[in-house]
């Protein structure tokens, strides 16, 4: 029996590349689709690659016709909060517009199982609220707003065209492949753990804490971190959910435990055994005080059981990858 193919948009990116590895292990053939504006060719090593832009309908039609995927896993997106505030047009065009083209191409090809990478940024600033799938979405930046719009889009096309979807709203993704084959690398880097590790290794002078006057125990923002490998395990379960004919569903992915910026810095120092040079700066626009998952739906319905999402383990995996060096264009 021929392997079934899954089209992975953003397959050269951080989460997409880890998902390709997990799909390969699960017996699928992942086909990475990426324009490599932010993704890495070096990260595509678990199946074929198709270079192209999601806004190019003809290119998408060609790829769907060639591979005839049974499902799409959609990770490709612009994801920098600060940039989305300064240049919202990039997010409405690059996230929402491009996804509309992708959805139309998938439907035209008869590929109706769609797994979507959303975000807790759709909730916005809701201090003191336990965030779950039913929490009101009130994004405070164009990144979160674009992801919420895509969620609405998928629901509309489920009615008009029978598009089946699972939506994953996740919190802060961290860690790296325990085998050290792939890891987290962004240009520019905006994620806390790799920034801290850069400061430890001397790749940057210091880690800047943006805001020390938040209403939290130590004055810094609190986030819920989940290991990238645990995250992609949930996506495979979400794919199986659809293929078993189960209904469209939204799942939040987080551990339910939040860590402040200072706590992450302290953990990195503990794991690496090295001091972390720190500077303090003003708050960044668009940063929520606290984002922590309060949902157990993924655990109870998908049977998701995150195995590597302890903070020290995520940092240790990331540090192992970090020491081997970053990808190169």
Predicted pLDDT of residue 130:
78
Q: Could you give the 3-state DSSP secondary structure of residue 134?
A: coil
In this prediction, residues 54-69 reach a mean pLDDT of 98
Instruction: Tell me the C-alpha to C-alpha distance, in Å, between residue 247 and each of 113, 178, 250.
Output: 11, 33, 10
Q: Which helix (H) or strand (E) holds 301?
A: helix 297-302
Of the candidates 29, 25, 48, 32, the one whose C-alpha atom is nearest the C-alpha of residue 229 is 25
Mean pLDDT of the chain: 93
Q: Could you give the 3-state DSSP secondary structure of residue 260?
A: strand
Predicted pLDDT of residue 260:
97
Predicted pLDDT of residue 25:
96
Q: Which residues contact 141 (CB under 8 A, 6 or more apart)?
A: 81, 84, 85, 121, 285, 286
Of the candidates 278, 257, 127, 123, the one whose C-alpha atom is nearest the C-alpha of residue 196 is 278
Instruction: Indicate the burial class of 247 (C-beta count within 10 angstroms; 0-12, 13-18, 19 or more).
Output: exposed
All structural domains of the chain, each given as residue ranges with its CATH number in brackets, are 5-173+225-253 (3.40.50.720), 192-223+256-323 (3.90.25.10)
In this prediction, residues 68-90 reach a mean pLDDT of 92
pLDDT tens digits, residue range 11-23? 999 999 999 999 9
Annotated catalytic residue 14: no
Predicted pLDDT of residue 1:
44
Question: Which pTM was predicted?
Answer: 0.93
Which range has the worst mean pLDDT, 28-37, 299-308, 319-328? 319-328
State the pLDDT confidence band at 299, using cuts at 50, 70 and 90: very high
Strands 172-174 and 164-170 come out as: unpaired
Give rounded-to-5 percent helix, strand, coil for the chain: 40, 20, 40
Pick the catalytic residue: 143, 170, 214, 225?
143
pLDDT tens digits, residue range 193-202? 999 999 999 9
Alpha-helical segments (H) within 137-227: 142-161, 192-201
**Other C-beta atoms lying within 10 Å of the C-beta of residue 280:** 12
pLDDT tens digits, residue range 93-138? 999 999 999 999 999 999 999 999 999 999 987 776 778 999 999 9
Predicted pLDDT of residue 186:
74
């Amino acid at each position: 029996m021929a392997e079934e193919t899954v089209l992975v948009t953003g397959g050269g990116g951080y989460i997409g590349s880890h998902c390709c590895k997990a799909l390969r292990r699960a017996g699928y053939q992942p086909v990475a689709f990426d324009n490599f504006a932010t993704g890495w060719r070096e990260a595509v090593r678990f199946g074929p690659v198709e270079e192209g832009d999601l806004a190019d309908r003809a290119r998408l039609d060609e790829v769907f016709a060639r591979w005839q995927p049974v499902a799409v896993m959609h990770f490709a997106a612009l994801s920098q909060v600060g940039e989305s505030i300064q240049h919202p047009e990039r997010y409405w065009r690059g996230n929402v517009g491009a996804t509309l083209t992708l959805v139309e191409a998938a439907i035209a090809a008869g590929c109706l199982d769609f797994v979507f990478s959303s975000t807790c940024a759709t909730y916005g600033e809701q201090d003191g609220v336990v965030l779950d799938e039913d929490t009101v979405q009130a994004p405070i930046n164009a990144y979160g707003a674009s992801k919420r719009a895509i969620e609405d889009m998928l629901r509309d096309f489920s009615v008009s065209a029978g598009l089946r979807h699972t939506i994953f709203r996740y919190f802060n993704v961290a860690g790296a492949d325990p085998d050290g084959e792939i890891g987290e690398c962004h240009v520019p880097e905006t994620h806390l753990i790799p920034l801290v590790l850069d400061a430890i290794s001397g790749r940057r002078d210091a880690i800047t804490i943006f805001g020390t006057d938040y209403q939290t125990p130590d004055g810094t923002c609190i986030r819920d971190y989940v290991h990238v490998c645990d995250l992609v395990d949930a996506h495979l379960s979400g794919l199986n959910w659809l293929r078993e004919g189960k209904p469209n569903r939204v799942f939040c992915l987080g551990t339910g435990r939040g860590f402040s910026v200072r706590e992450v810095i302290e953990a990195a120092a503990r794991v690496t055994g090295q001091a972390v040079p720190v500077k303090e700066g003003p708050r960044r626009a668009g940063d929520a005080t606290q984002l922590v998952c309060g949902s157990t739906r993924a655990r109870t319905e998908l049977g998701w059981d995150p195995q590597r999402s302890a903070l020290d383990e995520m940092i240790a995996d990331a540090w192992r990858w970090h020491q081997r060096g970053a990808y190169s264009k």
